[in-house]
Structure 1
């Protein structure tokens, strides 16, 4: 029941389509700012959206209901959003000129971690155990330690710690998509898709392999 919807964006409207019953529902952004990104929560009960315009918001909506939370974490627009697999956090990435990555505890209304990137980011995906997430974009694939950010939080926002992926011959490629998942033996993998190229698979580094200097940029 909760996973029956297909979603698509039409400026400041999210259209929820039920293909089995040929019915539609709509979420309308009262700010009139166009939506630019969206993500379902793992349980299908909530939807996260990003928008464009000056001082845009990342918003969480109840599917079949209204808005339940919002935060301003970016200046010019939001290129992508993703729920953690626990559903407790929303990762958002700003437009190229914003260059901010934020992790938002939307139920408590606080940004728990943030950092900057120098590359344009097109996609973000959170691991199935919510211990890390991956961003992909223009000459950019980077692993960000989510567990460490939560452990170090003491009623304040802390810097995200990240490490660039090993791109090898693809170091000059534009990566337009990324997805995290588990292999048949339980090992974690990251799938990267680059423009004009095949999908590549990289095994997640061993525990503790995501460390790096705080404030490090890609």
Structure 2
């Protein structure tokens, strides 16, 4: 049997091996502690539990990975031009220039969603769990600014900040997919309402009105108004312009009454308030990601294509196919496959940032070059595991009884050889 397994983007080590740390070594030179070229890592969080320690150990193995297989809209630039995302129970800040990471370790279970503050370098992350928590934390200091609990069950699947940064809206994984509006600084609930019987994928504040928002999901789109201590909603009116589809993403434009949603059939639905005006065929397959630009939009879908559009989706201005030949020489590896499904997309600092279902993060220059920043890889030669083995069947040629270091690939080979 295999003593290790990869499950949903995570590595699980056998019980007889105590992982102390997994580090990314330089691409040249031999392994060993203290060698130059290892990324700088720093961590922050509250008190640790045994569950937390397990998660932390795994996170170091995945320190460059990104959770895209079941999440979306969870990848952003900070104002300091760093990249923020999450994997397992860890919030990750990646510095592109220094190739270094910092970790927020305040969560005690897997993070499912992430939102970034519109003004400051603050991030909100929501996790899975019986009584799931939402953490608002500073990307520079890695300190938790607010901890929100007690309003959701099973998990928090979607988050967004209001345009003034004062409110935060969250969606739960309970049967009604409850929506909660928070005064996050005070840690107080402002309003709550049942969302929808089926899963809600995205909640988005109207950037022009801090009391309006929209939710989209499985056969679902609703337009919400926050009034006093309550939330009221209106369903989308389709008329003869289109039919109800599963909506995967949503974005507002520069006109305050206009809203755009990406559907599972590859169409963009164009709305004025809650009235559907028309639909535009944009992608071959589901549109998972959409982001508003100063003059237009950028979209990404299951077809692995990034598209730049004008401000009313009348013309597609440019397309980028995410393929191996398009990668720049500065990329950190190779794509797992051509045209991977795109799960997150955003714009900042003159670049388009894209996250794929395969756990890759790419940066696209508008002039064309595509750089692979982060890559998921089963056997990266540059990953090294540091720890202590506690099983006599493992060969001492690869591990010493004390704290040891060896290539991850050698460790996996050794365990498979001893336990076929």
* TM score, norm. by length of structure 2: 0.43
| Secondary structure of residue in 2 paired with 1:182 | coil
Displacement of 1:159:
2.6
Corresponding residue number in structure 2 for 1:78: 156
Deviations for 1:88-114, whole angstroms, at most 9, x for unmatched residues?
111000115252100000112210000
**Alpha-carbon spacing, 1:18–1:12, altered in 2? closer, same or farther (3 Å):** same
Contact 1:41–1:47 (CA under 8 A) maintained in structure 2:
yes
**Which residue of the partner structure matches residue 179 of structure 2?**
101
Aligned-pair RMSD on alpha carbons? 1.9
1:182 maps to 254
Higher relative contact order, chain-length normalized (CA < 8 Å, sep 6+) = 2
For 2:140, which of 56, 64, 67 is the aligned residue? 64
8 Å Cα contact 1:76/1:98 also seen in 2 = no
Distance in 2 between residues matched to 1:4 and 1:98, nearest whole Å: 37
Q: Structure 1 residue 88 and structure 2 residue 166: aligned? A: yes
Q: Is 1:110 the counterpart of 2:188 in the alignment? A: yes
Deviation at 1:23, TM superposition (A): 2.6
Q: Tell which structure's C-alpha radius of gyration is larger.
A: 2
Residue equivalent to 2:41: none
Question: Which structure shows the bigger proportion of residues in strand conformation?
Answer: 1
1:59 and 1:28 mapped to 2: Cα distance?
10
CA contact (8 A) 1:96 1:121 kept: no
- Of 112, 118, 136 in structure 2, the residue corresponding to residue 42 of structure 1 is 118
Tell me which residue corresponds to 1:198.
267
Cα distance, 1:49 vs structure 2:
0.7
> 1:136 aligned to 2:216?
yes
Q: Which residue of 2 aligns with 1:20?
A: 97
Q: Are 1:8 and 2:89 counterparts? A: no
Q: What displacement does 1:167 show? A: 3.5
Structure 1 segments, 4+ long, off by >4 Å, are none
TM-score (norm 1): 0.81
Cα separation, partners in 2 of 1:114 and 1:24, compared to 1, 3 Å: same
Q: Once the 2 structures are TM-superposed, how far is the Cα of residue 178 of structure 1 from its aligned partner?
A: 1.0
Residues 58, 70 of structure 1: 8 Å contact kept: yes
Task: Give the 5 Å matches for 1:154-165.
Answer: 158-165=229-236
> How many equivalent residue pairs?
192
Rounded Cα–Cα distance in structure 2 between residues aligned with 1:97 and 1:205 = 25
Does the Cα contact within 8 Å between 2:115 and 2:123 map onto a contact in 1? yes
Deviations 1:108-140 (A, max 9, x none): 221000000223200111111213010000111
| Structure 2 contact 202–248 (Cα < 8 Å) conserved | yes
Q: What's the CA shift string for 1:147-187, capped at 9, x where partnerless?
A: x2xxx2xxxxx33111111245321x11111112323xxx4
Distance 2:162 2:97 in 1: 28
SS in 1 for 2:253: strand
CA distance in 1, matches of 2:238, 2:157: 22
1:205 is displaced (CA, Å) by 5.4
Question: What's the secondary structure of 2:250's corresponding residue?
Answer: strand
